[in-house]
Amino acid sequence: MRVLMETTHPKDVNILKNIVFELEKEGCEVLLAARDKEGVFEKLDDYGINYVPGTNYKGFLNKVVHIPSVEYWLYKIAKKFKPDVIFGPSSLYAAHVSKARSIPYLCFSDCEAEFDYTRHLTVPFVTKIFVPSGFRLDLGERMEKFDGYLELTYLHPKYFKPDRSVLDELDVGADEPYILLRISSLSGFHDVGVDHSPLKDIETIKEFVRGMERYCRVFISGDNSVTDKFPQNKLEINPNKFLDLLAFSSLYVGDGISVAAEAALLGVPSIYLSDENRRWGFIKDLAEQNLVYLSNNGEESREMAKMIIQDKRIQRKWKEKSNHLVREKKDIVAFFVEKIRSCGEN
């Protein structure tokens, strides 16, 4: 069986990698059509995953203008590879190519907001779209829910054991507290309508960093237009080691929603900063279980961060809650592999 996957984001690579490995163990041939963003190619190279590189267009208008060129690129790959199934994150490009080539298309999403603009361009063409149980939008009969989070495809203890050597690379002591501060670019389809992030103001970030450095080290990652202004704090490591660093951190703060969820599921206190109109069922689900703090105020988040970083009991309690949650969830990798196998064989 041949499986074509599409990816354009580091999180997609994380989600797909163990699915790729399991399918290859079963003798399947897997190829990724990948467009680069924040180290996607570097991650794929490190994992030894076979892929065809493409161009990632930044900015909403640029993405819209280049829809035909991306679809033509993907169409040529599908025509040459002749997959039995196309699988990956919800994508209007893959949806259209699967329809044009008469190939079953299985996809996943945990982002309600992306369907404000792509629902009628994507959902009618998918075979099945899989969403987490906390998903708060009804996409119709093609939607199927699973009990878990996409992040568990790569963060479940079965698949992830953090490597402490990353601390040596950054000269971080074994018990030295540090915060990961993430500033996202907010350039995806799901970010349309998000006019302001509480962390986009440079002065707010400076105040946060100065205030927190009294208690711990602060590493900043994400949007280079912001991180370049903080050379002493800018995080520069192999992208594949970011989760190791996150796992040993004392706290995560940022407007990167994926990292907020990753931190929560690793048992790391997590403060997610965003404006109030964003709709993400999975992050609200984690917030309702007290694994993520939601805030739209930079000053409020700073005070919250100070409280957490100074109280080891909060950090231990967070880990206990996270461990309990993860134990209750199903193996999402096995779930997807079975769905792909079943679809390809039929």
Tell me what pLDDT residue 55 has. 84
Of 54, 40, 44, nearest to 9 by C-alpha is 40
pLDDT single digits (tens) 94-135: 999 999 999 999 999 998 888 877 788 899 999 999 999 989
Specify the pLDDT at position 200. 62
- Mind listing the pLDDT tens digit for each residue in 288-302? 999 999 988 778 888
Integer Cα distance of 272 and 326 in angstroms: 20
Average confidence (pLDDT) over 276-287: 77
**Domains 2-156+330-345 and 165-328 belong to one CATH topology:** yes
Q: What is the pLDDT of residue 264?
A: 96
Is the CB of residue 191 less than 8 Å from the CB of residue 274? no
Yes or no: say if 131 and 109 are a contact pair by the CB < 8 Å rule: yes
pLDDT digit string, tens, across residues 24-46: 999 999 999 999 777 789 899 99
User: Looking at 12-16, 94-98, 203-207, 316-320, which range is the least confident one?
Assistant: 203-207
**Helix (H/G/I), strand (E/B), else coil: 123:** helix
pLDDT in tens, 149-163: 999 999 999 999 999
Name the superfamily (CATH) of residues 2-156+330-345: Glycogen Phosphorylase B; (3.40.50.2000)
Q: What is the pLDDT of residue 312?
A: 85
Tell me what the mean pLDDT of segment 199-219 comes to.
87
Distance of CA 87 to the CA centre of its chain: 16
Q: Does the domain made of 165-328 have the CATH classification 3.40.50.2000?
A: yes
Mean predicted confidence (pLDDT) in 8-31: 94
Residues 57-94: pLDDT tens digits? 777 777 888 889 999 999 999 999 999 999 999 999 99
Q: How far is Cα 152 from Cα 135, in angstroms, rounded to an integer?
A: 16
Q: How high is the pLDDT of residue 131? A: 96
Hey, what are 157's tokens? 């203890």
- Average pLDDT in the 222-240 region? 86
Predicted pLDDT at 191: 46
Angle, CA of 62, 69 and 57, to the nearest 5°: 30
**Distance of alpha carbon 89 from alpha carbon 110, whole angstroms:** 9
Q: pLDDT at position 305, please?
A: 92
Closest CA to 265 of 323, 215, 213: 323
pLDDT at residue 194 tops 70:
no
Six-digit token pair at 25? 């163990």
For residue 61, what pLDDT is reported?
79
By percentage, how much of the chain surpasses pLDDT 70? 94
Domain locations in the chain as residue ranges: 2-156+330-345, 165-328
Q: How many Cα atoms sit within 13 Å of 261 on the Cβ side? A: 24
- Mean of pLDDT values over 224-252: 90
Q: Give CA separation, 264 vs 170, 221, 237, 246, in Å.
A: 23, 18, 22, 10
